[in-house]
Structure 1
Amino acid sequence: MQKDDERLVHSRGEEFLAVFKKGAEFTQELLRENERLRFRLLELEGQGGPAVGEGSPAEVQRLAERIANLEQEKQEILGRIKQVEAENQDFAARYLEVEDENNNLANLYIASYQLHSTLDFKEVLQIITEIIINLIGAEEFAILLLDEKSDELQAVATEGVERSEIPHQRLGKGIMGEVASSGENYFVEDVEGYQRDFASPMVCIPLKIKEHVIGVLAIYSLLMQKKQFAPVDYELFTLLAGHAATAIFSSRLYSDSERKLSTIQGFIDLLTK
């Protein structure tokens, strides 16, 4: 679909250039003809009287009508050029939208690929941190995971703030606890007017596998050059809600299994010696 849009934009662009060039040439021709006829009309009017001869008034009338027709044709061509220019601007804007969509899709693909490129828990957290900084533009944030034994959210990674500054929140309590309980995204209405509160983040996204929430992403501030969220940010939030959760869950399972395997191997080594 996007390729078709790009070909259509290119085709309409070429059509505009052709029409514009042809219109410009025709307009110049009309202006020259207009000037010649006006000169001829003035010449005939200046002669006057008998010297004009029979048929002169008819010729003057014919020339005046011809000038009027040329003026009308010129205005129609100028109107058509303006219309094509407007259409070209619309297609140029659509082309930029397609380019943005292509870039966004590429970023989303790269982010998704990176999330599943490793089973190391620390590396997964680092990749998520880089995605949040580079693609979303967050400056201060925390990744909290749910401890199912205590039903508490605990920070496992932070950026721009100390992990100790992020309070533990019980499931269903406070904004982060409510997000973890409901599985619904939370956004403040006024991003620029938000005052940092570690218990009440600017944005809180549940990290969930299907309907099972394993933690939340809490954002407290954006980079200086970023004033509000773009449409692609919400797509990234959706990606993080699912793919990041899966990557975190898988890496934790792998780390736990590796640790248990190492422990079992240690016991086996002791028994066989």
Structure 2
Amino acid sequence: MSMNEDEHRRASSRAEEFLQVFKKGAEFTQELLKENERLRFQVLKLQEERKKGVPVGSDNEIIAKLQKRIEELEKEKAEILDRIKEVEAENLDFANRYVDIENENNMLANLYIASYQLHSTLDFNEVLQIILEIIINLIGGEQFAVMLLDEKTNTLRAVASEGFEKEELPVVSLGDGIIGTMAKTGENYFVDELESYQKDLHSPMVCIPLKIKEHVIGVIVIYSLLEQKSRFAEVDYELFTLLAGHAATAIFSSKLYSESERKLTTIQGFIDLMTK
């Protein structure tokens, strides 16, 4: 939060500095133009008096001095204008950076809300649905799936999907292909060029392992993005990492809760049978 406040203060200070420099530059430019005009008038006046034979002293020397002063003022004016252009460019760059920071803050705020929703329920199906909505709304995914690892068989199977049926997705062995390899190594995968990507259910454009510390429990695979999403921004890569951690924790907790509820129901059933 302190970094964001610093960025805001720097943005305000930079904007104020730009306005002051621009204002001073504009005033100085007007003064230069007036002084330039006055000196040119004096030069013309001296030249006219010389033509008429009016004695003007060492007019050549005066004219030379005036011309030199004009050149100096022109040079100063050019330097001021160049500085104004530099400040404008710096200010534009800073303004763009400010917009990027605002967008990043908004995205992180949305992720905070989404993570709160993830951890607000222990219902496994609700958790999966929230994950799908986050990928659509924050990442811009169109066709994607959540695949979980069955540690007994060491295979990954889709438990939720968007854009196609879960049954369409392959069952992937741990270590096989891009999906299996990313699940085994715990590394994120992104295609180099989104535009040239051809949809392949075995080779997604994005594969993000769901990890609790270094333990992988599944992956998020993305095969296509919404039409308005043509590329990934820098903040998207951060979102993927943060989402994967929160989603993994929420999925793991809800699975444990569901399993304990089933066991409790089974035990309660046995108790009821024995006490009747």
TM-score between both structures, scaled by the size of structure 2: 0.90
Deviation at 1:55, TM superposition (A): 4.7
* Residue identity opposite 2:189 in structure 1: Y
Could you say which residue in structure 1 is the equivalent of 2:18?
16
Deviation at 1:248, TM superposition (A): 0.5
Which stretches of structure 1, 4 residues or longer, exceed 6 Å deviation after superposition? none
Q: Structure 1 residues 75, 169: closer, same or farther in 2, change over 3 A?
A: closer
Could you say which residue in structure 2 is the equivalent of 1:111?
114
Residues 214 and 245 in structure 1, CA contact (< 8 A), matched pair in contact too: yes
| Distance in structure 2 (CA, Å) of the matches to 1:17 and 1:110 | 38
2:36 matches 1:27: no
2:91 matches 1:64: no
1:179-230 deviation per Cα after TM superposition (whole angstroms, max 9, x unaligned): 2222222222332222222222222222122222211212111111222222
| Distance in structure 1 (CA, Å) of the matches to 2:103 and 2:201 | 33
Unaligned runs of 5+ in 1: none
2:95 matches 1:97: no
Q: What's the Cα RMSD here?
A: 2.0
Deviation at 1:92, TM superposition (A): 1.6
Residues 46 and 56 in structure 2, CA contact (< 8 A), matched pair in contact too: no
Question: Matched residue of 2:109: which SS?
Answer: helix
1:116-172 deviation per Cα after TM superposition (whole angstroms, max 9, x unaligned): 121110110011101111111111111111222222222111111111111212222
* Residue identity opposite 2:36 in structure 1: N
Residues 49 and 56 in structure 2, CA contact (< 8 A), matched pair in contact too: no
| Residues 1-273 of structure 1 aligned to structure 2 (within 5 Å) | 1-48=3-50, 50-273=53-276
Question: Matched residue of 1:52: which SS?
Answer: coil
| Distance in structure 2 (CA, Å) of the matches to 1:12 and 1:23 | 16
| Distance in structure 1 (CA, Å) of the matches to 2:151 and 2:222 | 23
Q: Structure 1 residues 215, 60: closer, same or farther in 2, change over 3 A?
A: closer
Q: Structure 1 residues 64, 172: closer, same or farther in 2, change over 3 A?
A: closer
Unaligned runs of 5+ in 2: none
| Distance in structure 2 (CA, Å) of the matches to 1:163 and 1:240 | 21
Q: Structure 1 residues 188, 81: closer, same or farther in 2, change over 3 A?
A: closer
Identity over aligned residues, as a percent?
A: 68
Deviation at 1:35, TM superposition (A): 1.3
Residues 112 and 239 in structure 1, CA contact (< 8 A), matched pair in contact too: no
| Distance in structure 1 (CA, Å) of the matches to 2:61 and 2:174 | 96
Residues 115 and 243 in structure 1, CA contact (< 8 A), matched pair in contact too: yes
| Distance in structure 1 (CA, Å) of the matches to 2:65 and 2:256 | 93
